[in-house]
Amino acid sequence: MLERTTDADLLARARAGDDRAFAALVERYESAVAATAVGMLGPGDDADDVGQEAFIRFHHSLDHFRGESSLKTYLVHIAMNLSLNALRRRRRSVLRFVSRDETPIESAEPSAGPDGHVDAEELRVLVRRAVSQLNEKHRAVVVLRMFDDCSTRDAARILGIPEGTVLSRLSRAMKEMEALLAPYVDSGAAVRETIR
Amino acid sequence: MIDHDESLANDPLAALVRASAPERFESGFSDRVAARLRADREPALSAVLQRQFFQIVPIVAAASLMLAAYNWWGARETSSSPIEAVLNLPQVTLASAYSSSVLYGAAAADMETQ
């Protein structure tokens, strides 16, 4: 029933203390926040913590959200800031414990089938690995523009950089990814429909 | 300013990257968020203790002041200093220090009186 309710209605109900309305918002925007957190940090507890924290902060600021940006952009903004903080903490940590977060799930090389095609899921894993190999600045732009489908303007606003910088970073990031994924791009075009 | 949106829309690599976006967290994510919200709402033990401490402090402070005033009022003329009076400390002199009740306890003092 709540699936068809508008964001504005759900927000009003969540502000009034309706937990079901807030849960509906969490389910509605989980994918956007997951794309940001998992895209930046890789799958695992770190990304899950960032996702939870993003929604907790959103809940605390329900009364302050005025709708100047879309709810998705607002949540992605929070998730991106938290992800960048988590990456800084990772860098600072002297003792690095081997955890699920640091074990790249993309460790397996994709295995091509007899016809030379790569399985859709393996290809997706390969693309995420390529994204994780980008430096932090380039990765943030790719995550916002490609994974979250943000506009250049929104990406610039979220990262606090000029739009031109977003475009140049995106261009460089795509070139790096092209070098990494060149053998699979044709295959990717072929399996795009399968993935979707 | 040229936005590359259109060129990216037709780029097979961009399409591949878009299609590879992580879609969800591990199952039960909204339940985990709800659990954290509930935990946030429940007052922490430290907050409860702090509130109780601040409720008790004025009562204890008032009782201490009353006791100090009572002590001072009773011993204001015999005590050598106001602090001794407030704390109701017995006067310590050389004679009292060497008295048998101090040296050997109350039993010796009883024997002396007998």
Q: What is the ipTM of this complex?
A: 0.77
Q: Do B5 and A152 touch (CB under 8 A)?
A: yes
**Chain A, window 63-122: residues with a beta carbon less than 8 angstroms from a chain B beta carbon:** none
Q: Is B85 inside any structural domain?
A: yes
- All residues of chain B having their beta carbon less than 8 Å from the beta carbon of residue A124 are 19-20
Are A195 and B19 contacting, i.e. CB atoms less than 8 angstroms apart? yes
* Count: domains in chain B: 1
* Residue B79 belongs to domain spanning: 29-113
- Entry field: residues in chain A: 196
Higher pLDDT, residue A47 or B90: A47
Calpha distance A45→B33 (Å, rounded): 13
Residue with tokens 């994924």: A181
Topology of domain A106-196 in CATH is Arc Repressor Mutant, subunit A (1.10.10)
Q: Is B44 inside any structural domain?
A: yes
Closest residue by Cα to residue A38 from A160, A108, A163, A127: A127
Q: Do B25 and A30 touch (CB under 8 A)?
A: yes
- The domain locations on chain A are 1-103, 106-196
Predicted pLDDT of residue A91: 83
Split chain A (196 residues) into runs of 10 and give each run's mean pLDDT: 82 91 94 95 93 95 86 95 93 60 48 62 89 94 94 94 95 92 66 43
Number of CB pairs, chain A paired with chain B, less than 8 A apart:
115
Q: Is B1 inside any structural domain?
A: no
Q: For chain B, what is the mean pLDDT?
A: 81
Chain segment B28-79, per-residue pLDDT in tens:
999 999 999 888 877 777 888 898 999 999 999 999 999 999 988 888 788 7
Interface check for A45 against chain B (CB to CB < 8 A): the answer is no
Q: Do A184 and B16 touch (CB under 8 A)?
A: yes
Calpha distance B30→B25 (Å, rounded): 9
- Entry field: residues in chain B: 114
Burial class from Cβ neighbours inside 10 Å (0-12, 13-18, 19+) for residue A117 reads middle
Q: Of 1.10.1740.10, 1.10.3720.10, 1.10.760.10, 3.30.70.360, which CATH number belongs to A1-103?
A: 1.10.1740.10
